[in-house]
Amino acid sequence: MTLAKRIIPCLDVAGGRVVKGVNFKDLVDAGDPVELAKKYGLEGADELTFLDISASVEERATTLDMVRKTAEQVFIPLTVGGGIRSAENVNELLRAGADKVSINTAAIARPQLINEISDRFGNQVLVLSVDARRADTKSGFEVTTHGGHQSAGIDALAWIEEGISRGVGEILLNSMDADGTKAGFDIEMLRAARAVSSVPIIASGGAGKLSDFGDAISAGADAVLAASVFHFGDLTISDVKKELAKAGFPIRA
């Protein structure tokens, strides 16, 4: 049985509001996270990703209260990321209503965290968020941290392979080169990641027009994530699903 391809709106939250910028800079307000989450749930989103983008930079935990309020309004899987540093943080988020957690900066600082979370909760709850960009590394891609502002000094493909070996169940691949540009997903990066990944890949960064979503799936994405095109009404989830169905991809109606 072929699994349906998933459409995932992403809520980047800072200071209690959904924000969006280009390459994580020049952020503009895109609304209230709980209201937007509810709207996307009703519109047919397959999942929802909630990233507290200022948590790691400000060295604090994700806002549990906002996760609780969001979980009360949506009845689709909810992934939460930002500021997760321990298995206990994950426990708190799952209790607050998250279905999955996304880790990034803390896992780079201490890769053993992946094993600890996966061993305790199972790999189905763990998404490794990889903010990658082109660089002079073995694969041509490197990992960045702090919202793409700092190089982690790690080859992106090697990190994906290590994350999978340690127990992540999914890769959220965010192209920092394409993020917020609306110029299309990073097909070259996606293909490279697909070649080394044995777990599902969520493509992120660059969605601008309907055909971009099918291009990402053709390049190996199991799910496509987008933010600004949904927040500002350029495209609807229903538009994307119709386009994918027309192109012959399996989707949930």
- Catalytic residue IDs: 12, 131
Q: Is the dihedral of CA 106, 109, 113, 118 positive or negative?
A: positive
Q: What are phi and psi of 92, to 5 degrees?
A: -65, -40
Q: How many Å apart are CA 42 and CA 75, to the nearest integer?
A: 9
Q: How many Å apart are CA 30 and CA 5, to the nearest integer?
A: 26
For residue 172, list its beta bridge partners: 129, 202
Q: How many Å apart are CA 206 and CA 176, to the nearest integer?
A: 9
Q: How many Å apart are CA 130 and CA 168, to the nearest integer?
A: 12
The β-bridge relationship of strands 126-134 and 141-145 is: antiparallel
Beta carbons of 226 and 9 less than 8 angstroms apart: yes
Instruction: Fill in the amino acid letter for 173.
Output: L
Beta carbons of 217 and 244 less than 8 angstroms apart: yes
Q: Residue 65 is encoded by which pair of tokens?
A: 């209260």
Q: How many Å apart are CA 172 and CA 131, to the nearest integer?
A: 8
